[in-house]
Amino acid sequence: MNRINQKLQEDKKLLSIYFTAGYPNINDTTTIIKSLEKNGVDMIEIGLPFSDPLADGPTIQASSTQALKNGMTSDLLFEQLKAIRESVSIPLIIMGYFNPMLQYGVEAFCKKCEEVGIDGLIIPDLPVDVYNDDYKAIFEKHGLINVFLITPQTSNERIRYIDSVSNGFIYMVSSASVTGSSSGFGDEQTNYFKRIADMNLKNPQIVGFGISDHETFSQATQYGRGAIIGSAFIKHLTENGIGDLSGFVSAIRNNP
């Protein structure tokens, strides 16, 4: 069974952390992964930096720009991760845009993911129909779960189609804005979370965008299976470095 599906069976609210590979420094990638697992994070999204990240807010864009300046590439990321499964057992997901994967070759990229122990991909600009028609067989051949995003504007019909194609979890974007641009959730977002929960989809939902502290993690996980934190963690790395990540994780889990 894929590690993502194994993790989703656990009786707890899941905390997933996103960070950009090669940031703050080019060789920080595996150190951050190991430290996050040690401090109780359930899943990790490894951001593959891209020059035109449409869904990312300024914090993650800046980290991508720096990571690219540092020299991060797909090949280097796979090289860094080649021994990661000797010490890390939680699900690892690569989040990136489709263009670099197309340039690499979709089959070759998926094969590399399988070799290093990646469990899934999140590709915001790969439409579910295109994936289903052209790439699903390749992903499944290499044991990869593809995670799709829904927003408050996604129609129920589209959500049910995404649910039918998915085999892991659905990334429930909390708002229509880019990452890192929200502070707290209002009634509109809470009603959206409840509406999706009431649809009784076969795939659980994990909430992303706007999760930054214990309060927003608790709000997001009231209806969702877990929550994803990206911009707030990147800010932590920018301000504090990678030395001690335990304080950040414990503040999310337990109200400081």
Structure pTM?
A: 0.94
> Is residue 129 annotated as part of the catalytic site, yes or no?
no
Query: What pLDDT sits at residue 68?
Result: 93
Helix, strand or coil, per DSSP, at residue 108: helix
DSSP labels for 177-230? S-TT---S--HHHHHHHHHHHTT--SS-EEEESS--SHHHHHHHHHHSSEEEE-
The whole-angstrom separation of Cα 170 and Cα 204 is 6
Confidence of residue 57 (pLDDT cuts 50, 70, 90): confident
Domain boundaries, position 58: 3-7+15-253
Lowest mean pLDDT among 83-87, 143-147, 171-175: 171-175
Catalytic residue chosen out of the listed positions 37, 45, 119, 163:
45
Give how many domains the chain has, as a whole number.
1
Confidence of residue 179 (pLDDT cuts 50, 70, 90): very low
CATH number for 49: 3.20.20.70
Confidence of residue 188 (pLDDT cuts 50, 70, 90): confident
Q: Does the pLDDT at position 183 exceed 60?
A: no
Confidence of residue 180 (pLDDT cuts 50, 70, 90): very low
> Is residue 56 annotated as part of the catalytic site, yes or no?
yes
Helix, strand or coil, per DSSP, at residue 94: strand
Confidence of residue 255 (pLDDT cuts 50, 70, 90): low
Query: What pLDDT sits at residue 210?
Result: 86
